[in-house]
Amino acid sequence: IFNFNPGPAMLPLSVLKQVQEELLDYKGSGMSIMEVSHRSKWFEDVLQDAIARTKRLLGLDDRFRVLFMQGGASMQFCLVPMNLALGDKPLDYVDTGTWSTKAIKEAKIQGKKVRVVASSEDREYTYIPESIPIDEDAAFLHITSNNTIRGTQFREFPRPKKVPLISDMSSDIFSRRFDPAPFGLIYAGAQKNAGPAGVTLVIVREDMLERVPAGLPTMLKYTTYAEKNSLYNTPPSFAIYVTGLVLRWLEEEMGGLEHMEKTNREKAELIYGYLDSQDFYRGTAEPASRSWMNVTFRLPSEELEKAFLEQAQQNGLGGLKGHRSVGGCRASIYNAMPIEGVQALIEFMKDFASKNG
Ligand code: PLP
């Protein structure tokens, strides 16, 4: 089945096979990686390998630390303002839909001085605001790089000179190259483009760690994870292991981010090209803001959408239902979705349109 689920999402088949092969005996240990101590050499190597691959893939220099945390991206909505606010400086947020809105809510709950500096709420979050006002004196500028629900994505990131950029990259990390220099912190729940659910990747620039208030509870401080290399307490070891395998696949089988980006662009151009060539299906994101990861579209009626989803499933195309908050259809075409999956989807869409149009 081609799995178009938004997350947990499709994983590369070769990764799943390797997990299967190693499941009962990890590298001659006689144990599953799930059973070995997180302080053993076996797990230490898994952790270091995942960190090194993250740094190589994203081109992170020594100023950046790679942490593995729990609580999902949703926990980061709360930890970012808790750890990185700076005196009474405003916390600037761009609101591009559900996940940004939730991040904003968590900062407000803490009584922080939040400013929504740009928003696409006026047109139902179907676009990315063209110009983002940058106040270099703010504590940070927070964006959501890809809006999983609405199917919009930043093509270019804002380029502040001083104020650190913070991004929720849950649904497009490792999908394309970008310059990490303006980023103070990046976070991503692994379960879309990086691995299984249960681990959250946090990339933090070292100078940001100086902001962490001493009085925060230990488990809520980024410094705890940085100082103990994500091993202050028991980490989600199996999820980190699988994430490491996905990163190995990206580097060694897919040719790194340059090649992955090219493939992702091709997949997106194929499906949007088809959407633009006909008028049965209607893409919901404005063309300049279209996501390469989540393609959202509607059919002429909800009855047809229901039939489309049922028949797609019967044809081996799963997970195409839109998010429950917006309805419609959504094809999530993360890194692990091969171009053949997108081609199969388009063929099915053509066939369905010809029978029902
Ligand atoms: N941010 C984005 C962009 C997402 O797509 C999601 C989940 O779909 C989340 C945050 C929430 O992530 P989690 O379930 O890991 O808390």
CATH number at residue 147: 3.40.640.10
- For the chain, what is the domain count? 2
Q: Domain ends where: 236, 253, 270?
A: 253
pLDDT at residue 282, rounded to an integer: 98
SS3 call for 221: coil
Q: Domain ends where: 210, 227, 253?
A: 253
Let me know if 137 is a catalytic residue.
no
Domain membership flag for residue 325 = yes
pLDDT at residue 125, rounded to an integer: 98
Average pLDDT across each block of 10 residues of the chain; the chain has 357 residues. List them in order: 96 98 96 97 98 98 98 98 97 98 98 98 97 97 98 97 98 98 98 98 98 98 98 98 98 97 98 98 98 98 98 98 97 98 98 97
Domain membership flag for residue 6 = no
Let me know if 228 is a catalytic residue.
no
Mutation probe of ligand 1 site: the residue of 168, 170, 173, 296 with most atoms within 8 A of C-beta: 170
Let me know if 99 is a catalytic residue.
yes
- Look up residue 114 and give its amino acid: V
Angle between helices 256-276 and 41-58 (to 10 degrees): 60
H runs (alpha helix) in 187-338: 206-209, 222-227, 237-248, 256-276, 302-314
Give buried/exposed letters for 275-306 (b at 16+ CB in 10 A, else e): beeeebbebbbeeebbbbbbbbbbbeeeebbe
Same domain, 160 and 301: no
pLDDT at residue 338, rounded to an integer: 97
Q: Domain ends where: 227, 253, 279?
A: 253
The one catalytic residue in 192, 221, 267, 321 is: 192
Is the Cβ atom of 148 under 6 angstroms away from ligand 1? Answer: yes
Instruction: Give the tokens for residue 139.
Output: 């504590």
Same domain, 221 and 348: no
Backbone angles phi, psi at 54, to 5 degrees: -60, -45
Domain membership flag for residue 137 = yes
Domain membership flag for residue 27 = yes
The response to whether 191 counts as a known ligand-binding position is yes
Sign, Cα dihedral of 223, 228, 231, 236:
positive
pLDDT at residue 238, rounded to an integer: 98
User: For position 326, which CATH number holds?
Assistant: 3.90.1150.10
Is the Cβ atom of 7 under 6 angstroms away from ligand 1? Answer: yes
The DSSP secondary structure of 85-144, one letter per residue, reads --TT--EEEEE-SHHHHHHHHHHHHTT--EEEEEE-GGGTT-S--S-----TTSSEEEEE
Is the Cβ atom of 171 under 6 angstroms away from ligand 1? Answer: yes
pLDDT at residue 182, rounded to an integer: 98
pLDDT at residue 158, rounded to an integer: 97
C-alpha 207, offset from chain centre: 24
Domain membership flag for residue 95 = yes
Is the Cβ atom of 189 under 6 angstroms away from ligand 1? Answer: yes
Same domain, 183 and 65: yes
Sign, Cα dihedral of 82, 83, 86, 89:
negative
